[in-house]
Amino acid sequence: MESISVTTQNRNQFIDITADVKQAVKKLNISEGVVTIFCPHTTAAITINENADPDVTRDMNQKLNSLIPPHENYAHAEGNSDSHIKSSLVGNSCQVIVENGNLKLGTWQGIYFCEFDGPRSRNVWVR
């Protein structure tokens, strides 16, 4: 297993980790199969989406924040219930096919670490 370190700067942020995952696949010497990218945090997530236009992740963040605002009548005393909800909706992992040592992503696809409770130092596990 490889661990990718991610440092976030904002409360809500999408970080393209595609190059990091490719490097992890190379280090793990995976030539064929399926790789799992897993986020071991309850207020962050992993997703695959377009990486050509940064407005896509901006729009995703904006919509998530409008659907799940940070300040509602949440009972969780820590004040980050919105982050837990967003994390559950987006998901804590994704899988990608590996063929000839390469990730089989679509032309416009990238792998994103989704921060919903930053800034923080985080990890992503690849296996």
CA pair distance 39, 55, nearest whole angstrom: 24
Four-point Cα dihedral 99, 41, 121, 57, nearest 10: 60
Residue pLDDT, tens place only, 73-120: 999 989 999 999 999 999 999 999 999 999 999 999 999 999 999 999
* pTM of the complete model: 0.96
Instruction: Give the pLDDT of residue 88.
Output: 98
Peptide bond preceding 119 in cis form (omega within 30 of 0)? yes
Is residue 74 a contact partner of residue 117, using CB atoms and an 8 Å limit? no
Distances (CA, A) of 40 to 44, 83, 93, 102, 111: 8, 14, 9, 24, 16
pLDDT band of residue 42 (cuts 50, 70, 90) is: very high
Q: What type of residue sits at position 6?
A: V
pLDDT band of residue 18 (cuts 50, 70, 90) is: very high
Instruction: Give the pLDDT of residue 110.
Output: 98
Residues 63-69: contacts with CB within 8 Å, 24+ apart? 64/12, 64/89, 64/90, 64/116, 65/12
Instruction: Give the pLDDT of residue 40.
Output: 98
Instruction: Give the pLDDT of residue 119.
Output: 98
Domain ranges of the chain: 2-126
Instruction: Give the pLDDT of residue 39.
Output: 98
Instruction: Give the pLDDT of residue 53.
Output: 95
Above pLDDT 70, what percent of the chain?
100
Q: Environment class of residue 76 by beta-carbon count within 10 Å: exposed (0-12), middle (13-18) or buried (19+)?
A: exposed
Distances (CA, A) of 125 to 54, 55, 69: 24, 27, 29
pLDDT band of residue 32 (cuts 50, 70, 90) is: very high
Question: What average pLDDT score do residues 64-79 get?
Answer: 93
Q: Which CATH superfamily is domain 2-126 in?
A: YjbQ-like (2.60.120.460)
